[in-house]
Structure 1
Amino acid sequence: MKCYNKIYTLMLTLGLTAVSLTSCSDDNESSSLYPAVIPAKVEFNLPEAQQQLVYTDATGAKCLPMVKGETLQLNYTMTPDDVTYSDVIWSASNADFATVSDQGLVAAVNGDGYSIVQVAPVGMHEGSGINANIKVVVSSEMHKATAINVTSTSTEVYAGDTLHFCAFIAPENSTYKTVKWSVDNEAAASIDPSTGILTAKQADAITTSVKVLATALDGSGIVGERTINVKKIVSPENVSIDQKYSAANGYECALNEQTLNLAFTTVPAECTTSLIKWTSSDESIATVDAGVVKFKGFGKVTISAATPDGNTSSIELNIPCGLVRETYRNESHYSFRPANDAVKYTWGDGFITVTTAATNATTQRADLKWYDLPLTLHAGNYPVLAVKIEDAKDLGIGVTGRNFNMDVVGKSESGKEYKALGGGNNKWSNELKCADGSRVFIYDLSKVAFKTGGVAPTNESISFNIFQLKYADIKTISHSLDYKVYWMQTFKSIADVENYVKKVDGIAYEVIK
């Protein structure tokens, strides 16, 4: 047996701390390597009173608000628990606003700025990320809340579901950016006091009112509130879709309208409608969610609703190629409006009012553009395009002339190009003068040719990527004027246009051309 002097080697780095021990041993004995346990994570342990004040700013940083002169003892946890070397270094990025002692005591020095306070293990390699830091935001004085606005994405929530609430504190420079959340009816809902996430409970009533409260943490006593309804889960036994828009009843849907809200009834009437399963027979034509149909393409599609017990109801919808219907009944989506920002317009439920812009000292202009492109026309299905609009010459303000031009560019299914419907100014085929002072300008696609492409084919569609009504050369006038646009639609015949004006618009008309 050979005997050696004991040799101890201590290696300390962030990546490796080891003790190598060699002692008396037989020649066949091997030495042992004992790896040290290095820090893996460091986290702050904030007192509960301060933890509820922490918020996340626009940069994603965790922020702790403090007032000038305040101090706070920060504590931390280092994992794993059995780290070999647990000493740390405290640092603050900007001592002008906040400092930190070697023992983690933070002091708010000056107001209206911030300092990043960090605790990190000694010997840590630069950039390794093993540290904990918090952005200490210092105010020169306490700016208390004066109002709290509470919002949520819905005012209804079903039992078992969650709903997230947000609080917006005024003024903007309030020192504390967070609130304490609570509810006035804990039998119907609970809410996390710090996150504002509400969980609805199964109450006895079909609908239970719950008031959500957001209380300021600065002692101001300011409280914001929002009332919601917690809905009891009641399984639907039967469902019936209203057939008003059914293809069987002759109704046709226009692709440009984008959505259709289907009316339906259930048994029982007050049930959890989210349990109804909605399906579409062809999602390339239309999709459906909770009875709201979204149009995707042309054709017929069957929309079905089914209860958990398997009772179903269906409706067949028809979205024919070439049908265009803009009647200004959906303020959240309308396609035909001014072509540029210089021309102003306002919504009017059934029309828009357009204000012209100057072309020069004596001429006004207000072009209208179709935005929901491509716009598809099909002369075989709907050969008549009509626009109901107020004519500047009828407004009684001295307009001596105007030009009305359909500037369009499109291609047929076979690839033929079509440009400039009518081929020039004021080339419509028919005209109606209505009793409400408007006119209907009609383009019969079987008679009015395009400047390029000729007359529209009846056996295929034309898809337009540019579709603009140039309403120009309004003169002689030195100021802007307002005119109304009521609708732009396609029809199967001119007789259908006249019938629409008489029965749907409910006004008399005179045939001018």
Structure 2
Amino acid sequence: MKRNNNKIYAMMLMLGLATASLTSCSDDDKQSDLYGAVIPSSVEFNLSQDKQQLIYTDATGAKCLPMIKGETLQLEYTMLPENTTFRDAVWSSSNDDFATISDEGLVTAVDGDGYSIVQIAPVGLYEGSGINANLKVVVSKEMRQATSIAVTSDKDEIYSGDNLQMTATIAPDNSTYKTVKWSVDDENAASIDPMTGVLTGKEASAILTPVKVIATALDGSGVVGEKTVNIRKVVAPENVTIDQTYSADKGYVCALNEKSLTLNYTTVPAECTTSQIVWTSSDENVATVADGVVTFKGFGTVEITATTPATGKSSTIKLNIPAGLIRETFHNENHYSIYDAKQSGNGTSTSHEWHDGYLTITTYKQNATNQRADLKWYDLPVTLHAGNYPIIAVKMDDVKDLESGITSRNLNFDVVGKSVSGKNFKALGGGNNKYSSEYKCSDGSHVFVYDLSKVAFGTGGIAPTNETISFTVFQLKHADIKTVDHQLKFNLYWFQSFKSMDDLESYIKNVDGLTFEKK
């Protein structure tokens, strides 16, 4: 490591000047000359553009410059402020085995594969001041060229005037150069910073203009990566019409557990900048809205309105989120509320696999002859309302149908909740297999029904019809599946609440498209 031994002298001189500057004023307010040293506030490297293009940031946050064994580089620096009294600086290298630096700032890549931290600092402030500039010189024994470049971005389309960060992933991972030169094939439609990869859409005549973004390796290999990004012209919407399929006025009801609803809508003109549409909610305690996506917050009715600012025209839809409605049909892979309770034992564990419209549940070994796989509701609390939706139903395979040796299983509705008035409710049915009715469907599945007007809770009795009950524990225990010595798989199709048995039967017939017999 090299240091300039003049730093002690410089510090003493600076201290002397600072002492000399402490002069007094005369009685007649005549000001004496003041002398003071101007000390550095910052120092930074000046790199040519071609070298700046090679700089990358590693996992530690260090700025890295790749070099090849035997390569040299003359470093320059800028010290601020420009009127700094003492502009002398000292160069240092943290590991001369990989890179050295002369007193004049000439870096020599000695050997690879390794690195050295090269630093420039003002002489008098070398130790602990924090005023310095550092560069991690990463030395390779030889050039390892790129073989491929993958170009990615968070979006495939942007509007004119918007920015998009492009990312290049170079293979192999140990390629010497980690950065690329960015360019586009149509500079009339977009521009890109050649070093940072920030793409900017320009105003174009066409509604949609595809632009090819190109990342070129800097190692002379000629390897490039490409991705097409569409630049969409900004066109103000003049009118908007929300599709009324989900309208409460048409009888549609939304389930709180479904979390959100994406509204369909049309615009005039059809190709326009939809991000300019202003979406509002009449009651954000019930639902919020952004870009046509409604997020449910609570029970009640709410009006969602879309407005085009340029013309003031608007469209509204009324949504109803009633208390007590549960609708889990497993059509959203990214959100579903009920699945296996993640149990394990005897070297086995439960699991589930999502399919569009059902889950496949795997049991675990409860003991030598029994299997088990409880179904747990994770999106809590679950709210029931016996006055609005008294029928609780689950459609699933009955494991007794899977193998001839399985003679029994127990379904036990384990719940813990409290009504608005403060009454506690636990254990729907109060024991095993206390469902009020069962349907065998034509596809072989079963629907197990708990009618809240008939099935009492073990604690709390029959549910009230004039208030909600919120449950913090809500699971259907599926235990004592016997006699079987190996794990089983069964399907869970849906879990829902209904206004009546007629509504349930209508759903099985008209939505599921099945016939059934009541057992």
* TM-score using structure 1 length: 0.94
Match of 1:345 in 2: 352
- Counterparts of 1:13 and 1:347, CA distance in 2: 73
- Counterparts of 1:265 and 1:15, CA distance in 2: 78
Match of 1:73 in 2: 74
CA deviation vs aligned residue, 1:347-395 (integer Å, no higher than 9, x gap): 1111111111212232211111111111111111111110000000012
- Name the amino acid aligned to 1:328: F
- Counterparts of 2:438 and 2:64, CA distance in 1: 67
Match of 2:238 in 1: 237
Report the aligned-residue RMSD: 2.0
- Counterparts of 2:277 and 2:232, CA distance in 1: 15
Task: Tell me if the contact between 1:14 and 1:123 (Cα under 8 Å) persists in the aligned partners.
Answer: no
Task: Tell me if the contact between 2:192 and 2:199 (Cα under 8 Å) persists in the aligned partners.
Answer: yes
How far 1:416 moved relative to its partner?
Answer: 1.9
Task: Tell me if the contact between 1:21 and 1:32 (Cα under 8 Å) persists in the aligned partners.
Answer: no
Q: Determine if the alignment matches structure 1 residue 460 to structure 2 residue 460.
A: no
Where in structure 2 are there 5+ consecutive unaligned residues? 1-10, 344-348
Q: Determine if the alignment matches structure 1 residue 491 to structure 2 residue 486.
A: no
How far 1:397 moved relative to its partner?
Answer: 4.6
How far 1:174 moved relative to its partner?
Answer: 1.6
Secondary structure (helix, strand or coil) at the match of 1:432 reads: strand
Q: Determine if the alignment matches structure 1 residue 328 to structure 2 residue 327.
A: no
How far 1:53 moved relative to its partner?
Answer: 0.9
- Counterparts of 1:287 and 1:144, CA distance in 2: 51
1:500 to 477, 499, 507: 507
How far 1:13 moved relative to its partner?
Answer: 4.1
2:431 to 424, 434, 446: 424
Q: How does 1:155-174 map to 2 (within 5 A)?
A: 155-174=156-175
Task: Tell me if the contact between 1:16 and 1:38 (Cα under 8 Å) persists in the aligned partners.
Answer: no
Match of 2:393 in 1: 386
- Counterparts of 1:353 and 1:254, CA distance in 2: 23
CA deviation vs aligned residue, 1:269-324 (integer Å, no higher than 9, x gap): 11111111111111111111111111111111110000121000000100111111
Task: Tell me if the contact between 1:11 and 1:17 (Cα under 8 Å) persists in the aligned partners.
Answer: no
Q: 1:30 to 1:442 in 2, by over 3 A?
A: closer
Where in structure 1 are there 5+ consecutive unaligned residues? 1-9
- Counterparts of 1:42 and 1:184, CA distance in 2: 38
Q: Determine if the alignment matches structure 1 residue 479 to structure 2 residue 486.
A: yes
* TM-score using structure 2 length: 0.93
Q: Determine if the alignment matches structure 1 residue 377 to structure 2 residue 376.
A: no
Secondary structure (helix, strand or coil) at the match of 1:123 reads: helix
Q: Determine if the alignment matches structure 1 residue 367 to structure 2 residue 374.
A: yes
Q: 1:344 to 1:16 in 2, by over 3 A?
A: farther
Q: 1:362 to 1:203 in 2, by over 3 A?
A: same
| Equivalent residue pairs, number | 501
How far 1:61 moved relative to its partner?
Answer: 1.4
- Counterparts of 1:500 and 1:181, CA distance in 2: 56
Structure 1 consecutive aligned stretches of length 4 or more whose deviation exceeds 3 Å: 10-22, 25-31
- Greater Cα shift, 484-493 or 104-113: 104-113
- Name the amino acid aligned to 2:429: G
Match of 2:155 in 1: 154
- Name the amino acid aligned to 1:94: N
Match of 2:226 in 1: 225
Q: 1:318 to 1:299 in 2, by over 3 A?
A: same
- Counterparts of 1:116 and 1:16, CA distance in 2: 33
- Counterparts of 1:390 and 1:418, CA distance in 2: 28
- Greater Cα shift, 210-219 or 94-103: 94-103
Secondary structure (helix, strand or coil) at the match of 2:125 reads: coil
How far 1:438 moved relative to its partner?
Answer: 0.4
How far 1:495 moved relative to its partner?
Answer: 1.4
- Counterparts of 1:16 and 1:433, CA distance in 2: 98
- Name the amino acid aligned to 1:345: H
- Counterparts of 2:235 and 2:515, CA distance in 1: 51
Match of 1:103 in 2: 104
CA deviation vs aligned residue, 1:221-240 (integer Å, no higher than 9, x gap): 11111111111111111100
